[in-house]
Structure 1
Amino acid sequence: MVRFENVGLRYGMGPEVLRDVTFGIPARSFQFLTGPSGAGKTTLLRLLFLSLRPTRGLISIFGRDAAKLDPNETAALRQRIGIVFQDFRLLDHLSTYENVALPLRVQGREEASYRAEVSELLQWVGLGERMHVLPPVLSGGEKQRAAIARALISRPEILLADEPTGNVDPSLARRLLRLFLELHKSGTSILIATHDIALMDQFDARRLVINQGRLTVYD
């Protein structure tokens, strides 16, 4: 589904922050991306979400060369990728329910067709009583759960998550990981960026370790 071949990235004239990165995301796979702070995990996720272009190398997503995509094609491919940003990126003028439903609205679906689906997912992540409040009222953990629900609601083919359990307690972290696993069983490829070794040790999953801009794969 995704292939990186000798990908490098630098900002301006500075040194490369990613160097010769080569790896793939197979269909129906579950993987962790880990490494120290500042190693390049978030940068790699941004490349995967097509919000950055590499300085060199090839990125292929769903069989398409990312360098040759026009804006409309990029937008279409992004609809097949769910992403949980570390800074949440909720829209403050929309309620929790409206934020989670937004990807379905963008797809042109009528609210009657997804109202129950959105409400059920919000109940599952523990936000059933908070679905009509605005994001500024939510705690950090509640914003995290809302961002995860928004990424999951359209059942993406690939889910990218940047520290998705960083603002929740251990019990809810395990619950959220089980949700990711259920999504994986239904056919979605999952890539979770985390520095939580104890959390990763609970799952038998491939690890992509990034350090000083270079990636090593451990099956």
Structure 2
Amino acid sequence: MIRFENVGLRYGMGPEILRDLSFQIAPRSFQFLTGPSGAGKTTLIRLIFLSLKPTRGLITVFNRDAASLSKTDLPALRRRIGVVFQDFRLLDHLTTFENVALPLRVLGNEESSYRADVVELLRWVGLGDRMHAFPPVMSGGEKQRAALARALIGKPEILLADEPTGNVDPPLARRLMRLFVELNRLGTSVVIATHDINLMNQFNARRLVIEEGRLTVYD
């Protein structure tokens, strides 16, 4: 689904911050992306999501060479990839329901066509009673789950989650991880960026480790 071959990235004329990255993400796979703070985990997620272009190397997404994609090609490919960002990126003037439904509204779908799906998904992530709440009055954990639901509403083939348990307490972290595992069981490839070694040790999953700009894969 995703293939990197000798990918490197630098900003301007500076040194490469990521170099010689070669790995692939297979269908229905589950992996952690880890490394020290500032190692480049978020940058790699942006490369996978095609919101950032590499300086060199080949990135193939769903059998398409990312370098050959036009601006009109990108939206359709990105809809096949769900992303949960560290800062959630919820819109404060929209309710939880409206935030989750936003990707479908942008596509021009009528609410009658997606309302049942949004309600079911919010119940699945434990927000069935918070559908009408606005982000400013929600807890960090609730915002995290709302962001997850928004990433999933389009039924992506790959989910990228950037430090999804970084700002929640241990019980909620375990609950979120159970959701990710269940999602993977249902067929979605999952990539979780985290620096939490204790969390990773609870799962027998592949690890992509970034350190000093290079990536090592531990299957």
TM-score class, shorter: over 0.9
Cα distance in structure 2, aligned partners of 1:137 and 1:178: 25
How far off is 1:156 after superposition?
0.6
Structure 1 CA distance, aligned partners of 2:13 and 2:137?
A: 41
- Cα-to-partner distance string for 1:10-51 (whole Å, 9 max, x where unaligned): 111111110110100011110000000000000000000010
2:44 corresponds to: 44
Trace 1:39-188 onto structure 2 (pairs within 5 A). 39-188=39-188
**1:209 paired to 2:209:** yes
Q: CA deviation at 1:64?
A: 0.5
Q: Percent identity?
A: 77
Kindly state the Cα deviation for residue 122 of structure 1 after the two structures are TM-superposed: 1.9
CA shift for structure 1 position 95: 1.1
3-state SS in 1 of match to 2:167: coil
Counterpart-to-counterpart distance in 2, 1:155 and 1:202: 27
SS at match of 1:133: coil
Which residue in the other structure is 1:23 paired with?
23
Unaligned runs of 5+ in 2: none
Counterpart-to-counterpart distance in 2, 1:87 and 1:10:
24
TM-superposed CA distance for 1:158, in Å, is: 0.5
Q: Deviations over 1:72-103 (max 9, x none)?
A: 10111000000000111111221111111112
For the residues of structure 2 that align with 1:156 and 1:28, how far apart are their CA atoms?
12
Q: Supply the RMSD in Å over aligned alpha carbons.
A: 1.3
Superposition deviation, residue 143 in structure 1: 1.4
Q: Is the 8 A contact 2:95 2:134 kept in 1?
A: yes
TM-superposed CA distance for 1:109, in Å, is 3.0
User: What is the total number of aligned residue pairs between the two structures?
Assistant: 219
Deviates more, 1:59-68 or 1:111-120: 111-120
Alignment-mate amino acid for residue 117 of structure 1: D
State how far apart, in whole Å, the 1-side matches of 2:115 and 2:166 are: 28
Higher mean C-alpha displacement, 170-179 vs 118-127? 118-127
1:201 and 1:117 map into 2 onto residues whose CA distance is 34
Q: Output the TM-score relative to the length of structure 1.
A: 0.95
Deviation per residue, 1:101-143 (Å, 9 max, x gap): 1122234433223222212322332322322122122222221
What is the CA–CA distance in structure 1 between the aligned matches of 2:185 and 2:140, rounded to whole Å? 29
